[in-house]
Amino acid sequence: MGASVIDSALFCDQFGTREMRDIFGDRMTVQKWLDTEAALARAEAELGIIPAEAADEIAANSDAENYDLAGLKREMDVTAHPIIPLVRAITAKCKGDAGQYVHWGATTQDIMDTGQILQIKDAWSHIAADLDAVEANLISLARAHRATPMPGRTHGLHAQPITFGYKVAVWLAEIRRHRQRMAECARRLFTGQFSGAVGTMAAIGEKGPDVQKRMMALLGLAAPEICWHTARDRLAEYACLMAMIAGTMGKMAHEIYLLQKSETAEVEEPFPEGRVGSSTMPHKRNPALCESVAALARTVRGCVPLALENLVAEHERDKIGLHAEREYVARLTAGTHAAIRKMAVVSAGLTVRPAAMLRNLSVTGGLTLSEAVMMKLAETAGRQHAHDIVYEACMKAAATGRDIKSVLLEDPAISRKISPAALDALLDPSAYTGLAAGFADEVLMMVEG
């Protein structure tokens, strides 16, 4: 069993996904280092810096399955170095003198930075695909419930009616902005590293930039304009973006959690056969998925301070930030992907209860329609005077537990201007959702267009 919940045999799928465990596992980490070394060798061979036969031999020995991780670990313990044991292992496997050209002109951080970016790029595609699934589910919900009235709530209390489709469309628009952020971030983030000991390419010389460009082209990455050994803004931006995306998933989950409460019961996350809510209360149908997503959003958010701390580094290189990145990047990415995937499940199987929403619209006895009455009365009494009149009636209704209609009709200032039938129309929550359905339609047109 893993000491970390990400690798735990019991809890791994609560805090991560199989894909992220594969991508950030030891075997794949070594594979990305090998891929980087192989691309470097091929680029240098193409530019006549090392023999082509050596590059071919290095590439032929770039399968991580052929390396003994336990052996690498033993050498790492002796050398206190992550890449030297791998370079030695590659060298030992290469035929002839090809091994002497491994890691030619590179420094350890070149290999580790580039490998980490390759891992993030692999993870990115899974994150994007599952975010697409969440978005597609929200599109269906927003369209189906564009005009489904429900209580709007501010400060935890009923405010005015909205529609459930409108609420979902707010989430949908936020996710679309995240997709735009991802597109912008990707142009900066997917940039490799090859600069040598202090970033000057002194070991390669004038051909260094050409090696770097060709190497990155082989890896599907961009070449940096200058060494970024101590410039960790790309990773900080990535961490902040992942935390924002996970935060949106957490907000959605928390909202569903609130709306699923027994007293509200307007929605319910999927509760498949066999799930158990409580070890002692057989009736419980707990919102376990939403609780998990809300918790994941918190853990992901906790990675951001580490990323921001790493913006401060000493001179041309130090190892402090790299140690922190080695710990938080996998946790950040796994938590974000797990949150998105869980929300894809929740949004795909969400039970929506329009009847409960309509029922809840009546619990205040019409108080949530106070603005509708006020605005009608303002046509003849003026807005502020109308506010004062309706305010007094609302406070009386709230204090006595009476419905607002009966209290309003007792006031001659109201009854002389608004008939009982007109008051009934004003107090119809379905008729006072404003442009909620239209705004939902606007968002749907944006994301589908």
* 55 touches 75 (CB < 8 A): no
Tell me the sheet residues that pair with 222: 191
> Helix, strand, or coil here: 224?
coil
CB 103 within 8 A of CB 88: no
Are the C-beta atoms of 171 and 444 separated by less than 8 Å? Answer: no
Smallest Cα–Cα separation from 29: which of 289, 329, 302? 329
List the catalytic residue out of 155, 262, 283, 315. Answer: 155
Contact status, residue 287 vs residue 257, Cβ threshold 8 Å: yes
Judge whether 272 and 289 are in contact, CB under 8 Å: no
CA-based nearest residue to 287, from 305, 265, 303: 265
Token pair in block for residue 223: 């070449």
Beta bridge partners of 351: 268
Q: What angle do CA 437, 342, 158 make, to 5 degrees?
A: 40
- What's the token pair of residue 199? 């970033």
CA 433 to chain centroid, in Å, comes to 31
Q: What are the residues whose beta carbons fall under 8 Å from the beta carbon of 369, sequence distance 6 or more?
A: 160, 161, 404, 426, 427, 428, 429, 432
Buried b / exposed e along 200-225 (16+ C-beta atoms within 10 A):
ebeebeebbebbbebbbebbebbbbe
The rounded distance, in Å, linking the Cα atoms of 331 and 326 is: 9
Residue 30 has a CB neighbour count (10 Å cut-off) of 20
Q: Closest Cα to residue 133, out of 186, 191, 172?
A: 172
Euclidean distance between CA atoms 192 and 106, whole angstroms: 13
Q: Kindly report the CA angle at 171 between 167 and 173, in degrees rounded to 5? A: 110
Spatial contact of 9 and 2, defined as CB atoms under 8 Å apart: yes
Quick check: is 155 catalytic?
yes
Q: Where are the alpha helices (DSSP H) in 145-229?
A: 164-189, 208-219
Q: How far apart are CA 62 and CA 35, in angstroms?
A: 6
Which token pair is 331? 């946790």
Active-site residue identified among 125, 140, 278, 430:
278
150: which strand partners? Answer: 162
Catalytic residues: 155, 278
